[in-house]
Amino acid sequence: MVVLSAQLTQTLRRVNTLFVLLTHLFIAQFAQAAKLEANVDRTEIHANESLSLNVIGEIAVDSAFSLFDLNSLNVKAPDTTELEKDFEVVDRQQNYKVQIINNVNESVINWTYTLMPKREGRLTIPALSVGDDTTQPIAISVLPEQSDKSGVKSEVYLETEVDTTTGYVQQQVLMTVRLFYANDLVRGELDHPDHSDALIRQLGKQREFSRYVEGRHYKVVERKYAVFAVKAGKLELSPLQFIGSFVEPRTGRAITRRANTQPITLDILPPPDSFSGSTWLPLQSYNLQQSWSTEALELPLGQTLTRTLHQQALGQEGVNLPPINTPVIDGLKFYSEPSQPDTQDAPLGVTGSRKDVQMIVATRPGVYQLPDIEVVWWDVVNNQERATRLPGRTITVTGDGQTVAAAPITASPAPPEPPPGEANQPHTLPTTASSEPPEQSFPATHFVWTGLFAAAWLITCALWYRDRNRRLSLATPVATSELNTETLTYRDMKKKAQADPYVLAQLVPNWIAQHHLRSGSNQMSDTLYADIRQVLNALQSLRYGPASRSGADEKIAREQARSLATQLLKHIEMEEKRLVRQNEKGRGSPLPDLYTP
């Protein structure tokens, strides 16, 4: 009896011990599972909408922890490799909550992920692991986008349009991008269009207004761009993307939404064979005016006559407008000031202008005939060639060749309005003036005036050149190995240009686009951009000019193209050196924010 009782007591003790061990093991496993958990703000969303995933875990705090250095916690974030197969991680945040009460550690870490589904249907947020701890998978239902068959628009969407889908090389194509959104926008980013075979310029600042679409109120952000293709063929403009954070009016929480445009295809044509101009100018309109320092038909010997030429074109930048050739006339000397190109943004696109000033000095008395000036351009509205012509002028220079009248140079009057219909009437091409004959003997007074004028001009050029060299000498030299443009390098362009100089017409626009993304706030100057565009368009003129179409003087044209390519590469090399020197100052965001909180 006593023996039986002892055995029963021992058995009960064993059962109790086993129960206690199982209980502790269960509690330990439960505590282990509770160390890492995950939850979402909603399990049913629409396409192009975001959801928020929170992963919460316990953290151990030891004596080496410092509130001033949270990195001392040394907590490794969950691995999101499997998660990113079905979801795009738009934003990641990590927050700590450190709390120790009565030597009891209650510190936690919270990882917050903003997720965008990559497809519709039934998706699963996989189990995430941190060390030995793992979360539970979460099922997500992704419904189609809210723009259903009834035509109800989504809360945010994009639309694009172009004024034409067919154009010529270097012709302006207007592209409009509009963003529509219904809820309050906290912040967002909208892509800029970009292409390696086109130069794309944003026209002015973006417009912001409101519009009702199908009875619903939307806020609208509108941007306009001028697209100049540099290569004939199909120009595929990739879809643009907008991604932004909005405040839902019902819940007050932030939600990320995304919208995309449809791709745009443009048919780019080469210059027509019938074009007879020396410079390819596809324009919507063109105007050429002139003004004189004096309207007198007779001038005393020694007086300077100033001729100011104004070009204005709709559909091209000012740097693309051609220079006016200076005639060669025996008895007259022509001195030209540096041209003054300018570009203004307008609702109909870019408006380019160019101002050229010619100073004419007579070397002996006589009657001189200045030839007409004619500029041939292509009317893209009516798809035909046009010629704009300015009449020449007869100048009578009086004097006996012994005395010089000291007449002051008067200010140029405002250019008169051309008679209706005169500016755009076609005319024949002007004849080239004969070459200058050998120098003849002139009065001593003429040499005094001409010498003073030439000396002043040379002194001005010398001062400019000295100042330019001084500024360049202050720059720190940069090793060639540092000149790197990521996917398109200066060395690559130089190597390809040695084989074919015309290839820069396609490579330089791509380099400009990469430069925009890399440089941020350290953008190239307007002057350098104008210089690059001017040389680039001169190269394009050689490529698409009449000589290239007829095959005549091909060797001379290629030598000129190599010279222009050398100028382009020199500009690019100088800009790359400048960007490397300023790289330490930081780079800006490639996509400017629409709004900031």
CATH number of residue 66's parent domain: 2.60.40
Return phi, psi of residue 352, to 5°.
Answer: -100, 145
Identity (one letter) of the amino acid at 152?
Answer: V
285, 226, 196: which is closest to 515 by C-alpha? 196
16 is a domain residue? no
Q: Do residues 160 and 133 both lie within one domain?
A: no
Residue 565 burial by Cβ neighbours in a 10 Å radius (0-12, 13-18, 19+): buried
Listed as ranges, residues in the chain with pLDDT below 70 are 1-34, 60-75, 98-106, 146-153, 400-488, 513-524, 526, 541-553, 583-597
> Domain containing 413: what range?
287-432
The answer to whether residue 6 sits within a structural domain is no
Tokens of 82: 């499997």
pLDDT at 90: 78
Distance of alpha carbon 310 from its chain centroid, rounded? 29
- Could you tell me if 393 and 300 lie in one domain? yes
CATH label of the domain that carries residue 263: 2.60.40.740
Number of structural domains found in the chain = 4
DSSP 144: P
Residues 170 and 136 placed together within one structural domain of the fold: no
92, 141, 233, 338, 504 from 136: Cα distances, Å: 20, 17, 54, 73, 56
Pair (265, 164) in one structural domain:
yes
Domain for residue 207, yes or no?
Answer: yes
> 134-143: b or e for each residue (b if 16 or more CB lie within 10 Å)?
bbeebebebe
Of 218, 238, 269, at which residue does a domain stop?
Answer: 269
Both 238 and 358 in one domain: the answer is no
Query: Is the sign of the CA dihedral 126, 128, 134, 136 positive or negative?
Result: negative
Helix (H) or strand (E) run with residue 496 in it: helix 490-499
Spatial distance between the Cα atoms of 571 and 467, rounded to a whole number of angstroms: 18
* Nearest alpha carbon to residue 221 among 266, 174, 264, 187: 187
User: Is 242 part of a structural domain of the chain?
Assistant: yes
Position 149 scores a pLDDT of 43
Q: Judge whether 453 lies within some domain.
A: no
Strand order in the sheet with 264-269: 166-168, 264-269, 233-237
Same domain (yes/no): 165, 139: no
Claim to verify: residue 306 and residue 419 sit in the same structural domain: yes
Q: Is residue 523 part of a domain?
A: yes
Q: Which two tokens stand for residue 461?
A: 């050029």
584 and 493 both lie in a single domain: yes
Same domain membership, residue 498 and residue 537 = yes
Last residue of a domain, one of 114, 143, 172: 143
Q: Which residues pair with 228 in a beta bridge?
A: 172, 199
Q: Are residues 323 and 405 in the same domain?
A: yes
Same domain as 254, residue 117: no
Mark whether 486 and 413 lie in a shared domain: no
List the structure tokens of 574. 């100088």
**Cα 131 off chain centre by:** 46
Domain boundary among 242, 269, 296: 269
Does the residue 113 lie in any domain?
yes
3 found inside a domain: no
